[in-house]
Structure 1
Amino acid sequence: MPLWPVYTGTTEPHDGIDLLPAPPPWRAFDGGPALPAPADTDDAAAVSPDRRHRAHTYRATPESVQLVNAALYLRRPLLVTGPPGTGKSSLAYAVARELRLGPVLRWNITSRSTLADGLYQYDPLSRLYAARGDDRSPTGDSGVEDHLRLGPLGTALLPYARPRTLLIDEIDKSDLDLPNDLLNILEEGQYEIPELARAARHAPDAHAEVMAHGTDARVPVVRGRVRCRAFPFVVLTSNGEREFPPAFLRRCVTLRLRRPDESHLAEIVRAHLGEPDEHARPLIARFLARAGSGDLATDQLLNAIYLTGAAGLDENSRDELAERLMPYLSRAADPDAH
C-alpha cells in the first residue's frame, strides 16, 4: 500500500521510501543497469559533524512535510526559498537521513557555475600526458573514463534503485542561463557524455567505468548516456535574490520557509541545546522581538544561548554579549549602519 506521508519530519530513520507509489506516467524513468544507493556510512568521514547534527536536530513544519512529500510523489524538484538561517539546506540533509537515501550530493552555486560543472569534469590534459607515457596503442577513444569524474548532478541522475538526494545550494546566485539549462536536464532525467559517446562508436556494447562524485568508486555508463531510474530528491535553495522564469517555476514544487514563531523556535532550541532555561527564554523573546525589524538567523540565537550559558557571565555581561551575537544581517535594518 502507498504511504503518506513518506517523509514525516520525526527524524527517525525508516524505509518508507520503498512504499512510494509509482510516478506519474510523464515522470517515469527506466535507466539501467540499476545501482544500489550507497549507505550513509560510505562518506561518514566526508560529512561534517555540523551537517550530521543539523540532519538529526532539524524540526520541520507541517507545510514542509506536506511539500517534501509532494515533491517525492511527483518526482519534481523542490525549490526552497526564505530568509537566511531558516534551514533551507538543512532540510535536504534531514530528509536524506530519515528516508535513508545515502549521502547528500551537494552543489554550491556561484555566478560562474555552469551546467557542465554539475554533470561531469573531464581533464583532457591529464589524458594527453598519460598517453605520452604509455607505449600501448589504445583502440578508438578508450581510456577516456580514467580522466573523467561525474559531478553532483551527474551522479544524482545515475540509475540508482533508490533516489539520491541532490542539494543545489543558492541557485539564485547563478547566471541567467543556469536555471533554464537545469530545467531541461531535470525534465528529461538524462544526459550524454560526448567523450564517452564517441568511444562507444568503436565498441557499441561496451561500457565505461567512471568515478562518481564524492567517492573513488566507479559506476558503469553505457554508450556515454546516463538516465535515471529513481528520480532524485532535488532541493534547490534560494534566498529570494532574483526571479526565476515561469517555465522553471511550474516544474518545481515551491516551499517558502518563514521565520519560526515562538513555539517552533523553542522546539528548535530544545533539539539543539536541551530545554530552554531561565537564561535562554529571555534571549528567545528578544530574538523574536528584534526579528520583526530585520533579518536574523536562527543560528545567531543558538550561538547566543550556548555562549552566554557556557561562559558563566553575569546578567549584564550576558545581555551585552547576546546583543553583539545577534546583529541584523542586512545593513538597512541596523541603526548603527548609517
Structure 2
Amino acid sequence: MSDWLIYRGSGEPHDGIADLPEPPPWRAFYSDEATPFDRGHAYGLSDRWPLRAVAYQADPQMVEMVNTALYLRRPLLVTGDPGVGKSSLAYAVAHELRLGPVLRWPITSRSTLKDGLYRYDAIGRLEEVDTVSPAAPVDVGRYFRLGPLGTAMAPYALPRVLLVDEIDKSDIDLPNDLLDVFEEGIFEIPELSRLADTLADAEVRPADDGARVAVSAGRVRCRAFPFVVLTSNGERDFPPAFLRRCVRLHLPAPTPERLRAIVHAHLGETTSHAENLISLFLDRRSKGELATDQLLQAVYLARHAAGETAADRDHLADLVLQYLNQDRT
C-alpha cells in the first residue's frame, strides 16, 4: 500500500508531487497560465521552521490522511490538544514535497474572508490619481496584495501549502464562507472587476512576495488546489456541510515512544536525564494539560543550564512544565 504515498513523512525533500494523479472530475478547476513560484524559497519566518519541518515525526495515520487530502483535493482539518504538532504538519509537508513557503493565515474572532483573500490600498491609489499625469501608464495592481488564502488559490501549476491556524477561533460564518472559495476555486476582486472594461488584466503581489499573479477581469482562478491544513483545538463544533468537505485527522497526545523520537529529532541523542524528564512529563500530563514543546524546553534546560544534582534538574523542569489548564497549579 505504500506505493500510493506522495508524502512519506520522511522529512527528506523529493519531487514525488509530480506523481500526484489528475484530480477527480468534481475537483478539477481552471487551466489558466501558471504563475511561477520558488519551490526552494525560505519559509519567510525564521530558520526554526525548516528545522521543525525536518524534525517532524509523522506517524502512519498522519501520512495516510495527508495523502488522502492531496489526492482528493480537500482541506485537511487537524484537531488535537495544543502542542501536538497540528501547525507543524503543514511545514513538514511543504518541506518534504518542496512546495515553497507555507502561506499562514492566523485566525481570530475578527477574521473575515476578505482578510484572507486580498488587501487594497485605496488611499495610495487616490494619492496617485491626484499627483500623476493622466497620460502616465497606470499600474493598478501594485495597490493590491493577495492574502494567504488568495495566494494559495492563485493559478500555480503545483499546489501551494495553506495553513489556516486555529479556525475554531473564527466568527461562526467564516467556515461556511471558506466553502464557496474551496468548492468553486475562484474569487473576485471587485475593485478590479469595475475596471475590467478599460483594464482587462492586472498583476498583483502575492502574500509571499513571489512573482506577481495575473488577474483577468478582476477574478483569481485556481489551477492546482492547494494543500490546506485547518487546525482546531476543539473549542467549537463545525457545521456538517463544512465537515463533509474536509478530510479529518485527530492528533492524540504523543505516546512515550513518539516523545522519545521527537526529543531525539530536535535535540539529538536522548540521555538518562532526558528519559527522566520524559517520565516526569508523562506523569504530569496524566494529571493536567501539557504541550510537547514544554518537554523539549525542559530537556534543553537540563542539558545546558542544570547543575549536577537531580534537584537542580527538577527545579528547572518545574519552571516550564506548568499546566495549561487554568484551574491547575
TM-score with structure 2 setting the length: 0.96
Q: CA deviation at 1:263?
A: 0.6
2:325 pairs with 1:330: yes
Q: 2:285 pairs with 277, 291, 297, which one?
A: 291
Q: CA deviation at 1:260?
A: 0.5
Q: 2:304 pairs with 293, 296, 310, which one?
A: 310
Counterpart secondary structure, 1:275: coil
Which residue of 1 is the match for residue 103 of structure 2?
A: 105
Q: CA deviation at 1:323?
A: 2.0
The residue correspondences of 1:142-221 to structure 2 (distance < 5 A) are: 143-203=139-199, 206-215=200-209, 217-221=211-215
Which residue of 2 is the match for residue 235 of structure 1?
A: 229
2:33 pairs with 1:38: no
Which residue of 2 is the match for residue 58 of structure 1?
A: 56
RMSD after superposition: 1.6
Please list the CA deviations of residues 209-247 of structure 1 after superposition, one character each: whole Å capped at 9, or x if unmatched: 111112163221111111111100000101111111110
CA distance in 1, matches of 2:295, 2:318: 10
Which residue of 2 is the match for residue 68 of structure 1?
A: 66
CA distance in 2, matches of 1:172, 1:20: 30
Counterpart secondary structure, 1:68: helix
Contact 1:29/1:229, CA 8 A, preserved across alignment = yes
CA distance in 1, matches of 2:289, 2:31: 44
Contact 1:265/1:284, CA 8 A, preserved across alignment = yes
Letter of the 2:85 counterpart:
G
2:300 pairs with 1:321: no
Contact 2:53/2:91, CA 8 A, preserved across alignment = yes
Please list the CA deviations of residues 261-283 of structure 1 after superposition, one character each: whole Å capped at 9, or x if unmatched: 01111000110111210110011
TM-score with structure 1 setting the length: 0.93
Please list the CA deviations of residues 170-199 of structure 1 after superposition, one character each: whole Å capped at 9, or x if unmatched: 101111111110111111111111111111
Which residue of 2 is the match for residue 9 of structure 1?
A: 9
Please list the CA deviations of residues 271-315 of structure 1 after superposition, one character each: whole Å capped at 9, or x if unmatched: 011121011001101111211222111100000001111114121
Consecutive unaligned residues in structure 1, runs of 5 or more? none
CA distance in 1, matches of 2:297, 2:85: 15
Q: 1:89 pairs with 87, 90, 105, which one?
A: 87
Which residue of 1 is the match for residue 25 of structure 2?
A: 25
Q: 1:226 pairs with 197, 220, 228, which one?
A: 220
Counterpart secondary structure, 1:149: strand
Q: CA deviation at 1:325?
A: 1.1
2:239 pairs with 1:245: yes
Q: CA deviation at 1:137?
A: 5.0
CA distance in 1, matches of 2:13, 2:19: 14
Q: 1:272 pairs with 266, 272, 290, which one?
A: 266
Choose 130-139 or 181-190, whichever is displaced more. 130-139
Q: CA deviation at 1:158?
A: 0.7
CA distance in 2, matches of 1:227, 1:133: 33
Counterpart secondary structure, 2:195: helix
Q: CA deviation at 1:40?
A: 2.5
Contact 2:104/2:165, CA 8 A, preserved across alignment = yes
Q: 1:47 pairs with 17, 26, 45, which one?
A: 45
Letter of the 1:146 counterpart:
R
Q: Percent identity?
A: 58
